[in-house]
Every structure is written in C-alpha cells, then in structure tokens.
Amino acid sequence: MLPRQAVLTDINPELVNVYCTVRDKVEAIIQHLEIHQLCHSQAYYYDLRANPGKTSIEKAARLIYLNKTCYNGLYRENSKGQFNVPMGRYKAPKICYPELLRSVSRVLKQTQIEVKPFDAVLNMAQTNQDFVYFDPPYHPISLTSRFTEYNRYAFNEADQIRLRDTFAQLAARGVKVMLSNSDCPFIRELYQGFKIHTILAARSINSNAEKRGKITEVLVTSY
Ligand SMILES: C[S@@+](CC[C@H](N)C(=O)[O-])C[C@H]1O[C@@H](n2cnc3c(N)ncnc32)[C@H](O)[C@@H]1O
C-alpha cells in the first residue's frame, strides 16, 4: 500500500530487530545469509541456534536463517529466552533472497519500527485519518495446534478479548481497522457486529503435509 508514513510494532524484540536491520543494513544481512546458505547443515544449524550473535546484523541474519530452516518455520523460546525449535526436514531450503530483501528494505525506509504491545496503538492512531492492521497470534483451531509447554509469547483467550476491545475502541473513534485471525466460533463470536470476511489462505505452519493446503481464515474490518 506504500503509505507515506507507517508504524510497525511487535512485542518480540528479536523480530523487531530483523525488520530494523533489513531496513537499515540490508547488504550486510545479504552477505551473512549467503554464508549461512553455503554452510547450512545439521551441525551448522544447531551451532548457530546455540549462539545468538553479538551485533544486530548477526542476530537478524541468524533469525532469518533459523526461520527458513527450522521445523515448520515456528518461533518458540525456552524459559531462558533461547530459541529451541529443532531443525526442519527440508532438502535444499532457500535461505537468501537478495532481491526480495532489497525491495522490502526500500519499502521499510519510511517506516517507524518499534517494540510495543498491541494496545500502544491507542496512543498513536488518529481519528478519520489512520488505518490499523492487526496480525495477531491466531487462536488455535485444534487442540494439537495449541502449545502446551512454556511459551513466552503465548496469547490466550483473555488476550484475544483485550485485542477485540482495542479494535472496538479504535473503530468507535473512526479509525479504519482490519484484523486477521483463524476461522473458528470463538473469533467469529468476538467480532460479531463487525464485517467478517472469509478468505482462503495457504497454510505453511502445519506439521501434517496433507493439511497444508488451503484453509479458511477470517479478515475482520470495521468498515
Ligand atoms: C502472526 S504473527 C505476525 C508477525 C508479523 N506481522 C510478521 O509478519 O512478521 C503474531 C505476532 O504477534 C506478536 N505478539 C504477541 N503478543 C503480542 C502483544 N501482546 N502485543 C503485540 N504483539 C504481540 C508476536 O510476537 C508475533 O510476532
């Protein structure tokens, strides 16, 4: 959409560092990713997973590498804040997309990127002027898609309700709001009164390859 001015926020500082570093130091990231691409092996994966890196570039390239090679592209940390997803079973994962990274970097140039909880947008969005898009953790649609173990970025039903309240407050102010989520009765009930569009989405985060086809998701809008 290329807005003249945009703000991107997320609660995960590691993810925010990836976005900031792609915006500010894309060539350095590409150089690091090309090395990761050449060196990729099981031993290399577990070695890099154990070493978070020192500079913002090392950390960002490491996270992109782990995301492209780990099991189902998941993001999960243990109670010590260490990334602990095992390696995925990919034959020849493509890790570095230089042109894509450069074009993302160009788009992000005008963007303010910050670590913030979702409700911080209430202090930023201006009535009848701004558009807000929420891309929250999806409400689980099956028991097996729920994380039962420790998850620092867990997002439970109470969080989904607080997010709906934030959505409703923005909408009441005249801000245009859009949100994506899983297609399930809990989410449909939370957003009744708003427009709920059903969309087909290609799902890549599914351990069962047969279920990796298209499933429905919802896109809720205040307008
Ligand atoms: C579906 S992912 C979207 C990620 C991001 N939009 C992207 O495409 O890279 C959901 C995101 O919600 C973030 N999150 C979880 N709890 C949050 C909270 N309370 N406030 C803001 N973001 C949160 C997670 O860190 C995660 O990155």
- Average pLDDT per 10 consecutive residues for the chain, totaling 223 residues: 90 97 98 98 98 97 98 91 94 96 95 97 90 95 61 87 98 96 97 96 62 83 97
Q: What is the pLDDT of residue 34?
A: 98
Could you tell me where in the chain the CATH 1.10.1020.10 domains are found?
12-107
Q: What is the pLDDT of residue 154?
A: 81
Look at ligand 1, atom 3, and give the residue with the nearest C-alpha.
135
The CATH code of domain 117-221 reads 3.40.50.150
Test site for ligand 1: of 8, 9, 11, most ligand atoms within 8 A of the Cβ: 11
Test site for ligand 1: of 10, 75, 141, most ligand atoms within 8 A of the Cβ: 10
Token pair belonging to 113: 């990127």
Q: What is the pLDDT of residue 144?
A: 59
d(CA 178, ligand 1 centre) in Å: 15
Question: Do 216 and 202 touch, CB atoms closer than 8 A?
Answer: no
Could you tell me where in the chain the CATH 3.40.50.150 domains are found?
117-221
Annotation: CATH topology of 12-107: Adenine-specific Methyltransferase; domain 2 (1.10.1020)
Token pair belonging to 26: 């894309």
Look at ligand 1, atom 4, and give the residue with the nearest C-alpha.
135
